[in-house]
């Protein structure tokens, strides 16, 4: 059963939404035209700023009023489908781990077999070279031995026709943070921000590599 498309939400017909939209457009037009050159025009600008913040807050409230019912429904649907897929995700993790473990076991067995044959070939070559030297002739070429354990194929095709390719991924973990080379470290921006906001440094006495920036921003209540 294919779900039917939801009707377009008629928030554009909401009188409060239309009123808020008109108000902010008017404020924006007036803000573009305003020239602040004295205390009077600065007072006008501050008054308009307060109106702008209030209008923005009102629009956010209207948006929340329209979105909350939809978001609740979306959450119910998302939770239902997540719960439905949970067994498949669990099985996926189990099977991925088990098949990867087996693959690595076969790879290690193939590596050990290749190493064993390499050492054996070197010994055969050494013995052949020693005998050839005794006889005063060139040593014969050693025919390499075929390994009895083959490395796993990169891509495996299942009975259903699905093709599964194993991709090698490398990751890491920090075992000793103090031992990590300096060129692999990053500044602690969270701590720097906390100290900056606490005015631990002054703009002219900041630590090397850091510039303290002081700006003025209006807060409207």
- Averaged pLDDT of the chain: 89
Alpha carbon distances (Å) from 134 to 45, 70, 138, 139: 104, 91, 10, 10
Residue 171 lies in a domain: yes
Percent pLDDT > 90 in the chain is 60
pLDDT higher than 90, residue 49: yes
Per the structure, the complete domain to which residue 34 belongs is given by 10-204
Q: List 36's β-bridge partners, or say none.
A: none
Q: Is the pLDDT of residue 2 over 70?
A: no
Tokens of 8: 């377009």
pLDDT at 132 over 60: yes
- CA atoms 117, 119, 122, 127: torsion sign: negative
State whether residue 146 is helix, strand or coil.
coil
Look at residue 5 and tell me if it is in a domain: no
What is the rounded average pLDDT of the residues 196-210?
Answer: 93
Question: What is the pTM (predicted TM-score) of this model?
Answer: 0.61
210 domain residue, yes or no: no
Q: How many folded domains does the chain comprise?
A: 1
Query: How high is the pLDDT of residue 117?
Result: 85
Structure tokens at 11: 């928030």
Q: Name the CA radius of gyration of the chain, rounded.
A: 36
Task: Report helix, strand or coil for 34.
Answer: coil
Q: What contacts 55, CB < 8 A, 6 or more positions away? A: 20, 23, 24, 27
pLDDT of residue 143 exceeding 90: no
pLDDT at 33 over 90: yes
Q: Which residue shows structure tokens 């189990």?
A: 94
**Is 188 part of any domain?**
yes
φ/ψ bin of 199: left (φ > 0), alpha (ψ from -120 to 50), beta (otherwise): left
CA 146, 149, 152: angle at the middle one, nearest 5? 120
In a domain, 49, yes or no: yes
The answer as to whether 168 is a domain residue is yes
**Nearest residue to 164 via CA among 100, 78, 94, 69:** 100
Its sign, for the CA torsion 34, 36, 40, 46, is positive
| Predicted pLDDT at 120 | 86
pLDDT at 34: 96
pLDDT at 61: 96
Which residue is it, tokens 């035209």?
33
Q: With respect to residue 216, please indicate whether it lies within any of the assigned structural domains.
A: no
In a domain, 213, yes or no: no
């Amino acid at each position: 059963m294919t779900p039917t498309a939801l009707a377009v939400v008629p928030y554009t017909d909401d009188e409060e939404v239309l009123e808020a939209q008109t108000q902010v457009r008017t404020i924006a037009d007036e803000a573009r035209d305003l020239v602040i050159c004295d205390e009077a025009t600065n007072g006008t600008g501050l008054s308009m700023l307060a109106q702008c913040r209030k209008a923005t807050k009102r629009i956010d409230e209207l948006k929340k009023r329209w979105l909350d019912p939809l978001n609740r429904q979306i959450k119910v649907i998302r939770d239902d489908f997540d719960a439905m897929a949970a067994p498949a995700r669990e099985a996926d993790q189990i099977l991925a781990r088990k098949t990867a473990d087996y693959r690595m076991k076969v790879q290690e067995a193939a590596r050990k077999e290749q190493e064993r044959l390499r050492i054996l070939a070197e010994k055969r070559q050494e013995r052949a070279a020693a005998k050839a030297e005794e006889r005063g002739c060139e040593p014969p070429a050693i025919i390499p031995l075929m390994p009895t354990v083959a490395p796993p194929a990169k891509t495996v095709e299942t009975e259903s026709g699905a093709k599964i390719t194993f991709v090698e991924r490398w990751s890491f973990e920090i075992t000793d943070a103090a031992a990590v080379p300096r060129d692999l470290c990053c500044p602690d921006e969270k701590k720097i921000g906390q100290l900056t906001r606490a005015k631990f440094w002054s703009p002219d006495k900041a630590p090397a590599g850091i510039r303290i920036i002081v700006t003025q921003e209006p807060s409207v209540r």
